[in-house]
Structures are given as structure tokens and as C-alpha cells.
Amino acid sequence: MRRSPRALRRLSITTVVITYLLVVLGDTVRVTHSGMGCRSWPLCNGNIGLVGNYHAMLEQSHRYLAAVVTVLVVITFLVARHQTRHNRAVRMATFASLLMLAIQIPLGAITVFAHNAGWTVAMHLAGAWLLVAAVTTTMVAATKNTRLSSRLADQEVAKALTRPLSISLIAVFMVAVAGMFVLHGNATLSCPSWPLCAGLTSSRGVMLQYIHRFIALVAGAVLVWLTVCIWRLEGTTPLQRNLAIVTLGLLLITAGFGGIVATTGAPEYAQDLHLAIASGLWLSLVALASHIMLPLGAAAPIESELPRPYRRSFRTSAVEKG
């Protein structure tokens, strides 16, 4: 079984871990209202080191961690370029990571210059989740065997799960976007009950809460559908089935912390945990989708590498394409 070089695997895993920590720290900056702790960019109020008050130190720590992620993404891209000539999935994923990073850096600057305007923060979060998706896809592509001998059985599974996976990714992503509108629309405390806003009159804050909760409900239903499809479909692997269960479990935990945030006055620790687990949910779902879909995008194999039962069909397919 051929795999990508060990260095690339370790790099990709490290990049995922540090990028996730970066997103969690960014969530902490948001819920503690520390985004304007540094009123200049890239320096923090003219300083390079961690100086100033608590909010400035949080924001500057976030920028330092972003610099570490930048270095890791660039190194991973360079290593993949030289060590994975025949694995197109790895090369494309590392390029996507580099592209998202190039978008995220100026978005961070715009957020500071716009004084944490709601739309800039929402775009910055969306970009952060897309970066997490790119580095997670890189990790799966770098650690997963993608030779056709293992892909032939996976192709039918991937085709059958394309629709539920796509809808699940969109639904979970929209939950995060709606959550940002709740946070930056000052609607966090608009509905102190859960799951319904019992006894409250209609208002902008209540409507934002209902939209967020409705999208979360839809995402939950879709993830249940996806999980059932994965467990019932012949050909799925134990890893894929377990990832589906983990993803569904993380959604339930995220919803539970959403209820805690609503009913306890939205303490900072609860908001932070709510967002951190939601980011973990996104990472898990992307890993699941990548593990199922990536074989379709891998490089073409050499016929001699195939098991004997597959060689005739491979040769016939090649003749038909020719």
C-alpha cells in the first residue's frame, strides 16, 4: 500500500490541529469582545510583542498563531509539490489551503480597519471555516491510500452519498453563518429560553434566533439522514460509519451548549465552548466528506498496479475512452 511521504502526513496533521486552535482562539476573541484590542494591523497598537491589556494580548496571540498557520500551510504546499507528483488530490487541496490563507490575511486586516463591522467578522469566520476545510482535506488526502485497487469499491459509495454529503456541508456551514448574525446582531440574549422563545413578542433579535435554530434543526435532520445512508449502504468502511456517528454527536453537543448559552445569560465560557464544538463538528464533517469523495479525484493508476480481476475492465475502459 503506497502512501504519501511520512513528512507530509505529519505536516498535514499538525496544520489541521493548529488551524483548529486558531479558529477556537478567534472565537474567544469574538465572545470576549477583544477584536479591537489591537487597533492597528499587523502590529498591535504599534507593538510587536504581547503588551497591553487582556484584550490586546488575546488579539495579538491570535495573530501570532495565524502566522504559525501561514508557515505550516506554505511548507505543506511546497512539500506536497515535490513529493506527491501523482496524487492530484493532495496537490489541489494544498493549493486550496494556500488560496484561502491568501484571502484570510487581508480579511483580518479589513476587519480591524472596519472596527469589527458585523459583515467583516462574518466573512472572516466563513473564510476561517473554509481554511479548516482545505487543510482537513489535505490531511485526509495525504493519509489515505488512493490507488485504484482500493478506489473501485469506493466509487459507487461516493456517487450514492454525493447528495447527502453536499447538503450536509451546506447546512452546517449555514448554521455558522446564521450564528454570526445572532452574535453580531446583538441577539444573543434576545431569547432566554430554549428551544422556543416562549412568551416573547416578535422582534429582530427573536427572528434571528429562530432563523439560527431552524437552520440548526434542518442540519440535524440532514446529518441523521446522512448517517443512516452511510450505515445502510453496502461498501462503507468502519471509519466512515464512525465518523458519521461522531459528527452527529458533535451536532447534538453543539445544540446542547446552544441551549446553555440561551438559558444562562450567555456567559463567555459557554459561548466559547459552543463555537469551539461547532468548529469541531465542521472539521469532522469535512473529514468524513473528504474520506468518501477524494478517491474520485485521485490520479489515474498504472494497470500493472491493479489486482488481476480489475485489469481487464481497466483495459476495456481505456480502449473505450481512446
User: Is there a single domain that holds both residue 155 and residue 139?
Assistant: no
User: Is there a single domain that holds both residue 151 and residue 213?
Assistant: yes
User: Is there a single domain that holds both residue 27 and residue 159?
Assistant: no
User: Is there a single domain that holds both residue 137 and residue 151?
Assistant: no
At 318 the pLDDT is 41
- Classify residue 65: in a domain, yes or no: yes
- Classify residue 125: in a domain, yes or no: yes
User: Is there a single domain that holds both residue 173 and residue 62?
Assistant: no
pLDDT bracket for residue 320 (50, 70, 90): very low
| Residues 149-176, mean pLDDT to the nearest whole number | 82
Rounded-to-integer distance, Cα 19 and Cα 38, Å: 21
At 35 the pLDDT is 75
Q: Which domain holds residue 52?
A: 1-143
- Classify residue 79: in a domain, yes or no: yes
- Classify residue 58: in a domain, yes or no: yes
| Residues 24-35, mean pLDDT to the nearest whole number | 85
Rounded-to-integer distance, Cα 95 and Cα 77, Å: 7
At 132 the pLDDT is 95
User: Is there a single domain that holds both residue 139 and residue 85?
Assistant: yes
Query: Does the structure show a pLDDT above 60 at 289?
Result: yes
Which residues neighbour 298 within 8 Å (Cβ) at sequence distance 6 or greater? 87, 88, 89, 146, 147, 148, 151
Domain at 13, CATH number: 1.20.1420
- Classify residue 275: in a domain, yes or no: yes
Domain termination residue (choose one: 112, 143, 174): 143
Mean pLDDT of the chain: 81
- Classify residue 322: in a domain, yes or no: no
pTM tops 0.85: no
Domain at 226, CATH number: 1.20.120
C-alpha cell at 176: 455558522
- Classify residue 13: in a domain, yes or no: yes
| Residues 54-71, mean pLDDT to the nearest whole number | 89
User: Is there a single domain that holds both residue 190 and residue 245?
Assistant: yes
User: Is there a single domain that holds both residue 163 and residue 89?
Assistant: no
Lowest mean pLDDT among 8-12, 116-120, 206-210, 302-306: 302-306
Domain termination residue (choose one: 95, 112, 143): 143
User: Is there a single domain that holds both residue 181 and residue 229?
Assistant: yes
User: Is there a single domain that holds both residue 162 and residue 132?
Assistant: no
What pLDDT digit, counting tens, does each position of 191-248 carry?
888 888 876 666 888 888 889 999 999 999 999 999 999 999 888 888 899 999 999 9
At 279 the pLDDT is 94
At 245 the pLDDT is 95
Domain termination residue (choose one: 143, 176, 202): 143
- Classify residue 317: in a domain, yes or no: no
Give whole-number Cα distances, 36 to 48, 61, 181, in Å: 16, 13, 19
- Between residues 149 and 235, which one has the greater pLDDT? 235
- Between residues 176 and 20, which one has the greater pLDDT? 20
User: Is there a single domain that holds both residue 139 and residue 165?
Assistant: no
| Residues 32-37, mean pLDDT to the nearest whole number | 78
User: Is there a single domain that holds both residue 115 and residue 157?
Assistant: no
At 82 the pLDDT is 78
Number of domains in the chain: 2
Tell me: cis bond preceding 309? Omega within 30 of 0 counts: no
Half-sphere exposure for 167 (CA within 13 Å, toward CB): 15
| Residues 281-308, mean pLDDT to the nearest whole number | 67
